[in-house]
Amino acid sequence: MTLKKGGLTRAVESEGSWQLDRIVTELRDIRARWRGAQQRQTECGAREFPSRDALRDIAEALCAALFPMRLGPSDLHQESEDFFIGYTLDAALNGLLHQVRLELRYDARRANTPQTEVDALARAIVAEFALALPELRALLDTDVLAAYQGDPAARSVDEVLLCYPGVIAVIHHRIAHRLYALGAPLVARIIAEAAHSATGIDIHPGAQIGAGFFIDHGTGVVIGETAVIGERVRLYQAVTLGAKRFPTDEEGTLQKGLPRHPVVEDDVVIYAGATILGRVTIGRGSTIGGNVWLTRSVPAGSHITQASSQHTSVLPTELAAS
């Protein structure tokens, strides 16, 4: 039987027959060509990448271990906290070790370097990460408190932990950033993207963010890899701290790792929809108004609105000269 629609003639098989053998074979051939071209054959055909599903579960377990009575299981009691944390961390850290090992083995294969030290390095990364968890919790307490103090609608610190997507995104960022700094950037990026998918807040794990950070509402916030954010900074929804341009080398290849995102100093507030691009500095104590488009530095204590950002005649001398 044939079906004609839109100028196309298609063979219609009986219901449930999709020529799967043919499709599977063709997909296998395409994968084989890709892997050969990319020199990505693996021993015994084993998985070579970290798992998104596994890392999502690991991140949730780490969140529960950091805040057991609020992000842990509903039937947990305080007298069982230590047991729960120990049990949860043991499973999460062992799972994390496997994922970091996959990343390091993948990197070693790409670089054609020996893998003899991969397992030891993976264990060292996860061990150092584990020892940093108390410090991480103390830092997150400043973020939770900033959210509570910065939003008049918040009735308790428990509410912001349970309900605020900005807080959840920051918890994941603190976890991901530590792993990024320790040498597991792919694992870190996957954890960050899990939070991005859940909250609509996109924070690259490379971004450096000081204590007392609060993202209010949050949807559409983008913070780039080389952004540096000071202490007690508050952002609102749809704020972008992005790159203005992407330098290339002589062959036209993008140069990676160069500082290209803003530096936001302490005690800055950036309101909804503001876009700040390039390696510019927002001076301490400044306020950036909603929907401002800014591609130059502003001095400490500046108050930038749409009008002042569009008309240089009303800008401070320091801003106009930057």
Burial of 146 (0-12, 13-18, 19+ CB in 10 A): buried
Which tops the pLDDT comparison, 106 or 161?
Answer: 161
Structure tokens given for 220: 């559409």
Q: Are residues 72 and 106 in the same domain?
A: yes
For residue 315, pLDDT over 60 is answered with: no
- Integer Cα distance of 140 and 174 in angstroms: 8
Q: Quick one: pLDDT band at residue 216, thresholds 50, 70, 90?
A: very high
Three-state DSSP state, 157:
helix
* Residue among 274, 283, 282, 241 nearest 260 (CA): 241
Q: Are residues 185 and 246 in the same domain?
A: no
What is the mean predicted confidence (pLDDT) over 136-143? 98
For residue 303, pLDDT over 50 is answered with: yes
Q: Cα 173–198–227 angle (5° rounding)?
A: 35
Q: What are phi and psi of 23, to 5 degrees?
A: -65, -45
pLDDT of residue 67: 97
What is the mean predicted confidence (pLDDT) over 299-304? 98
Q: What percent of the chain has pLDDT over 70?
A: 88
Q: Are residues 191 and 237 in the same domain?
A: no
Q: Are residues 225 and 261 in the same domain?
A: yes
Q: Quick one: pLDDT band at residue 14, thresholds 50, 70, 90?
A: low
Q: Are residues 176 and 245 in the same domain?
A: no
Chain segment 75-131, per-residue pLDDT in tens: 999 999 999 999 999 999 999 999 999 999 988 887 777 777 899 999 999 999 999
pLDDT of residue 17: 76
For residue 317, pLDDT over 50 is answered with: no
Chain segment 164-210, per-residue pLDDT in tens: 999 999 999 999 999 999 999 999 999 999 999 999 999 999 999 99
Q: Supply the DSSP string of 228-276, one letter for each residue.
A: EE-SS-EE-TT-EEE-S---B-TTSPBPPS---S-EE-TT-EE-TT-EE
Domain tally for the chain?
Answer: 2
For the chain, the first-to-last Cα distance in angstroms comes to 71
Please give the single-letter amino acid code of residue 88.
T
Count of other CB atoms within 10 angstroms of residue 13: 9
What is the mean predicted confidence (pLDDT) over 286-309? 93
Q: Is residue 102, in this structure, part of any structural domain at all?
A: yes
Q: Supply the DSSP string of 44-79, one letter for each residue.
A: GG---S--HHHHHHHHHHHHHHHSHHHHS-TT--GG
For residue 291, pLDDT over 80 is answered with: yes
For residue 305, pLDDT over 80 is answered with: yes
What is the mean predicted confidence (pLDDT) over 40-56? 78
Q: Are residues 68 and 196 in the same domain?
A: yes
pLDDT of residue 113: 76
Please give the single-letter amino acid code of residue 59.
A
Q: Quick one: pLDDT band at residue 159, thresholds 50, 70, 90?
A: very high
Q: What is the CATH number of the domain that holds 243?
A: 2.160.10.10
* Residue among 141, 130, 138 nearest 96 (CA): 130
Q: What are phi and psi of 248, to 5 degrees?
A: -120, 160
Average pLDDT, the chain: 90
Among the candidates 201, 232, 264, a domain finishes at 201
Q: Is residue 9, in this structure, part of any structural domain at all?
A: no
The residue count for the chain? 322
Chain segment 223-250, per-residue pLDDT in tens: 999 999 999 999 999 999 999 987 777 7
Q: Quick one: pLDDT band at residue 304, thresholds 50, 70, 90?
A: very high
- Domain span holding position 281: 220-322
Question: Helices 185-199 and 81-110: crossing angle, nearest 10°?
Answer: 120
Which tops the pLDDT comparison, 75 or 38?
Answer: 75
Q: Are residues 186 and 271 in the same domain?
A: no
Q: Are residues 54 and 196 in the same domain?
A: yes
Structure tokens given for 312: 């240089």
